[in-house]
Structure 1
Amino acid sequence: MTEPRVAADVLPASRIRLHDLAIRPDRGEWIVGRFETRQFVALPKPGAVAIDLLGAGLTVEQAEVRLADEEGCEFDVLFFVRELIELGFVAEIDHRPVPFEVPRPASFPRVRPEHVRFALSPVLPMLFGCLLLAAVVALALRPDLLPSFQDLLWSPQGSLVLALSFVGGWSLIFVHELAHFVTARATGVHARIQLGTRLQFLVAETDISGIELAPRRHRLTAYSAGMAVNLSVAAIAVLLLVVTDETAIMHKVLAAVMLLALLGLPFQLLVFMRTDVYFILQDVTGCRDLFGDGTAYARYIGNRLWGAITGRGQPPKDPSRHLPVRERRVARVYSAFLVFGTALCLAAMAAFSIPADVTLIFRAVTRLGPDQPMTTNLDSIVVLLVLGTAHTLWAVTWWRRRR
C-alpha cells in the first residue's frame, strides 16, 4: 500500500517513472489507467499532457512550465503527481520504487485475449439472432410451451425443486458472468469474477474495469453478453422441448431451466442496483458515474428536505452543479429511480421474502425427527442447507465488502 511519506517526497525537481498506462480520448477527456490494478480515471487534457511530459523524463517543475507555455493553463503538476501515486500509477520517484497495494488477481489468468477473440466477432450476434428467432417461431407454433410458474414445481419433492433451482440457477449465473469475463478479456481487460451483494440479493459480479478503453461496440458487447447467454440458454431449451416427450422427466427439467434462464433477465432491469442494463444506460448517456452522481443528488434532496422541515443548518449545495447539462439531467432522473427502486425492493423483502423463508425453515425444522420418514427428513435437510447456505454467503459477502 502507498505510504503517506512517498507522496511527500515528491519535489518540484523530482523525476518520476510511470507504470505502463493505457490511454484513450473520450468526449474531450482522456481515460487513463492500469489493466493490472483495474484502476481507471477520466482526466482533462492538461492531465493527459502532463502524463506524456513526465513520461518523457521532464521533472515536475519542467512539466508545469511546459504546460503553461504550450497549453496556456496553470496546472499544479506536483499535486497531480501525488494523486497519481495514490492511484498506483507511479512506479519510481527519483529512481526509488514506490510501494503500492497488490490487487487481487484476475480470474483465469492463463486465458489470453487471443484465446477468446472470437467473442467480439460480428458473426456471433447474427447467430444469436437466428437462435432467438427460431425459439420465437417455435413458441408461436407451440403456445403450450410458454413458460409458467408451475414449470418450477416440476417434482412433488420440494428438495428436488430447490436443488435444481439452486444448482441450475447458480450454474446459469456463472455462465452469465463468464460471458462478461470472456468478452472483456478479449479486449485486454484483466476481469475478475467474484461474489457481491445488491441490497438483499446475493449476486455474482464481474469486475471489468478498463473496458472503458475499448471501442463502444466492444463495451456494449461486454455489458450485454450475460443477458445474451440467458436468452440463448432459454432458446435452446425451447427448441429441445419441441423434440422431447412431454411426459418425460427431461421435458420437465428443460422447462424449468428455460424459466430459470428467463427469470434472470427482469433483475437486469433494476438499474438502481448497477445491473447490466445500468452499465448500458451509463455508457449510452455518456455519464461517468451515474450511480455515484445519482446517490449524491438523492442525498442532497433528502438533506434539503430535512433542513426545510427542521429549520436547522444551511441549505446544502447541489452536488450535480459541476456536471455537464446532459449528465446532470440524467443523474437527477436516475436518483428518483434509485430512491423508489430501493424502497420497493426493501419493502418486497419485508413483505414476501422474509416471511416465505421463515415459513420454509419453520416447516423444515418441525418435520425433522426419528418418527418421520427418511424422505421427509432428507427433504427438510436439503431445505435447511440451501436456505442456510444462501443467507450465510450473503452475510459473509456483505460484511467483507463493507469492511
Structure 2
Amino acid sequence: MELTPDSRMKLRAITIHEKRKNYIVEEPESGDFYEMPVVCVEAIQLLGENRALGDIEQLLQSKYPSEEVDMIAFANQLLELGLVQEVDGRQIESSRRIDDTGQRLMISDKVGKLFFNPFSLALYAVLFVAVIAIFVIRPDLFPHYRDFFVSDWMLVNSVVWLVMSLLVVLFHELGHFLAVRAEGLSSRLGVGHRLFLVVFETDMNAVWRLPARRRYVPYLGGICFDTVLLFAALMVRLLSGDSLQWLSAVMGTVAFYIFITIVYQCLFFMKTDLYYVIENALGTYNLMENSRAWLSRYLPFLKEDKSVVYGDEEKVVKGYACFYVAGLAVSLLLFAVYFFPQFIFAFALSLPKLGEPFTSAAFWDGVFFMAEAGLMGGLLLFSWIRKYAPLQRSG
C-alpha cells in the first residue's frame, strides 16, 4: 500500500503503558507488546485525532528537533505489526495470527497467592540457602555427570530421563503460571513441541501490565519451584537407606537435571528467566538483541541483528555484552564438565554390548544407544546447517 503525506489512518484498539524510560504499547487482541519512545507514542495519539501523516511529522519535528521523524516509515511499521485498522477509510485486514493453542487452566488467583506471598517467598529463599548448605556439608551429593546413569541399561536411563525431565519442566512452568495468577493476571499453560520433543510453555505476556517491581516474582516463579524440588530430591537422598538405593539414584538424576536447569539460567546469550530479571531491573528491553548487534562488530561469527537503542542505553548494552560472553563461557564449561564426559561414559558402557550375541538384550541395548546418539548428532548437524549455511551463501 502506497502511503503519502496526506494519508490518514485509524489504529486498532491498543493500550499504552508508561514505563520508567519508554512506553509499552499493548495490542490486547493478540497479547503482543511493543516498546516505543515518547515520540512514537505521541505520533500514535495524533493518528487518533485523524491527522494526516505529513501534518503529524511537522508537529513532531518541531517539538523534537533532535529526533529524526519519518511518519511514512513509522506508518509502514505499524502496518507490518498489524496495528492498523483503516487507511484513508479503507479497511485493513489483519494478517496476524493469534496463538491460542495453549490450554487455559481454570485456577483461581487465590491459589496462586497461596504459593506466592511474602511468607512463601521467604521460604523459597531459605530452601535455596539450605540447598547450598547441603552441597557444602555433603559434597558427595553435588551433581555429577554419572548421576544420569541410574542403571547399566541405556534404555532404562533414557526412559527415566525422559519422564523425569517432562515432569520437572512441567513443575517449573507451573511455578511461572501460579506466580502470574497470584498477580490476578490471566495466563496460559501451553503444550507444544520442539521437533519430536514435548515442551511446556507459560504465556507471560500479561506481566507487562505490571509495574517493574512486581514482575520479578512471575519471572522467578519457575526457579522457586525448581528450588523446592531440588531440596526435596536432596533430602530423599540424605534419608534413603541401603534398601532404597534405586530411589536415591532416581533422585540423583532429578537433582542433576534441576541443577543443570538452574545453571542454564546463567546462559545470558539466550532469553532465560534471569535474562528477563536483568532486563527488567535495567529497564532496557531487547537487551540481548542490542548486545548481540554490538558484539557482532567485534565477533565475526555472530550474525548481525537489527537493534534499536534509545538515549543512554548504549552503556547498558555494552555492559550486558560482558554477561553475554560470560554465558557462552558457562555453556562451554557445562559441556566440558558434564555433557562430554557423560557421552564418553555412555559410549564406554554401550560399545562392549555390541559384541554380545545378536539375540541378547545387552546387544540391543547397545544398538539403542548408538541409534539414539546418531539421531541426536544428526539433528544437531541439521540445525547447524540450517543456521549457518544461509550465512555462507549470502557471504
- What's the TM-score, normalizing by structure 1? 0.72
Q: How does 1:254-269 map to 2 (within 5 A)?
A: 254-269=251-266
Q: In the alignment, which residue of structure 2 is the partner of 1:96?
A: 90
| 1:187 positional shift | 3.4
Residue 42 of structure 2 is aligned to residue 49 of structure 1:
yes
The RMSD of aligned alpha carbons is 4.5
Structure 1 pair 238–112 and aligned structure 2 pair: CA distance change class (3 A): same
Contact 1:184 1:191 in 2 (8 A): no
Q: Structure 2 unaligned runs (5+)? A: 301-305, 391-395
**Farther-moved stretch of structure 1 (225-234 vs 272-281):** 272-281
Change over 3 Å in CA distance of 1:333–1:244 after alignment to 2: same
* Residues 3-402 of structure 1: pairs in structure 2 closer than 5 A: 5=1, 8-9=2-3, 12-16=6-10, 18-37=11-30, 39-60=32-53, 63=56, 75-103=69-97, 105-111=99-105, 117-118=112-113, 121-129=117-125, 131-132=127-128, 139=134, 143=138, 146-149=141-144, 151-184=147-180, 187-188=185-186, 208-209=204-205, 211-241=207-237, 243-248=239-244, 249-302=246-299, 324-325=311-312, 327-339=313-325, 341-342=327-328, 345=331, 357=343, 360=346, 364=350, 367-368=353-354, 371-372=357-358, 374-384=360-370, 386-388=372-374, 390-391=376-377
The more displaced of 77-86 and 143-152 is: 143-152
Relative to structure 1, the CA distance from residue 252 to residue 364 in structure 2 (aligned partners, 3 Å threshold; closer, same or farther) is closer
Q: Normalization by structure 2: what TM-score? A: 0.73
Shift in alpha-carbon separation, 1:330–1:142, aligned structure 2, 3 A: closer
Query: In structure 1, how many angstroms separate the alpha carbons of the residues matched to 2:180 and 2:46?
Result: 30
Distance 1:252 1:341, change over 3 A: closer
For residues 201-228 of structure 1, give each alpha carbon's deviation from its aligned partner in whole angstroms, at most 9, with x where no partner exists: x997766456434222432223222222
Q: Which ranges of structure 1 fall in alignment gaps of 5 or more residues?
A: 304-318
Cα deviations across residues 33-65 of structure 1 (Å, max 9, x unaligned)? Answer: 325445432222232223233335555456557
- Number of aligned positions between the proteins: 374
Residues 1:13 and 1:296: Cα distance change in structure 2 (over 3 Å): closer
The 2-side partners of 1:384 and 1:153 are apart by 16
Does the CA-based 8 Å contact 2:112-2:180 persist in structure 1? no
Shift, 1:121, TM fit: 4.2
